[in-house]
Structure 1
Amino acid sequence: MTLLADEVEPKLLRAEPPDLVVWSSLWPQRPEATVRFELASDGGHGCDLRWTLLLAEPLQDQSALGHMRKRLNELINANLRYTFGQ
């Protein structure tokens, strides 16, 4: 995982195979943030993935929140998929 200077590698906080994974925060300045991954069968041989960024109050300004969402999108939907050749 290629992280930016303000990010740290997340830790696995919770796993309930085969459909739930929760990561710790990638951002030391928001240690309470978590990323929840929900995996559901697509009825075939794959799965549907939904990730949710969970933050405690107070929420950051929209610019910072947008940055966090964009980074998760890049790390999960782009970089991680490339490692599987998709």
Structure 2
Amino acid sequence: MIEIGSRARKLPAPPSVVWESLVEPHRRGARPWLSLLSDEIEPRVLEAEKPNRVVWSSLWPSRPNDQVHFELTAVGGETSLKFTLLTPDEAPDQSKTGHLRRRLNHLLFADLRFSYGQ
């Protein structure tokens, strides 16, 4: 697998809460955060080990074999969330790579973060 991008940041919720958000983004009672663009599809959970690991399928039909791996680590009452975007295929060009990274950054470290009220 080739790494396309990776980033880690803190989220203001414990790992069990962040894990549930990643595994069931549309669960009843949760604030909506997974707002997809027209070129994106709902990811499927390929693997999940509560509360430290989740693997999503690709969000992009044009890149169906890509995977998003999440590592969750407790930091006080918060979570350090690291995503790694991997592909078994050729890496995309620089423009597409930037778009994919930017979208994951926005979904996780803006939309998901704000769903926790901060």
Query: Do both share a fold (TM > 0.5)?
Result: yes
Partners of 1:65 and 1:58 in 2: CA distance: 11
CA RMSD, Structure 1 to Structure 2 (Å):
0.9
Letter aligned with residue 61 of structure 2: P
Partner residue in 1 for 2:79: 47
Q: 1:33 aligns with which of 62, 66, 88?
A: 66
Listed one character per residue, the Cα deviations across residues 14-66 of structure 1 (whole Å, up to 9, x for unaligned) are: 00111100111000111111111101121x22221111111123111000011
User: Following superposition, which runs of at least 4 residues in structure 1 exceed 3 angstroms of deviation?
Assistant: none
SS at match of 2:83: strand
Residue in structure 2 matched with residue 72 of structure 1 by the alignment: 104
Aligned to 1:83: 115
Structure 1 residue runs of 5 or longer lacking an equivalent are none
Q: Is the 8 A contact 2:69 2:83 kept in 1?
A: yes
Q: Which runs of 5 or more structure 2 residues have no equivalent in the other structure?
A: 1-33
TM-score (norm 2): 0.69
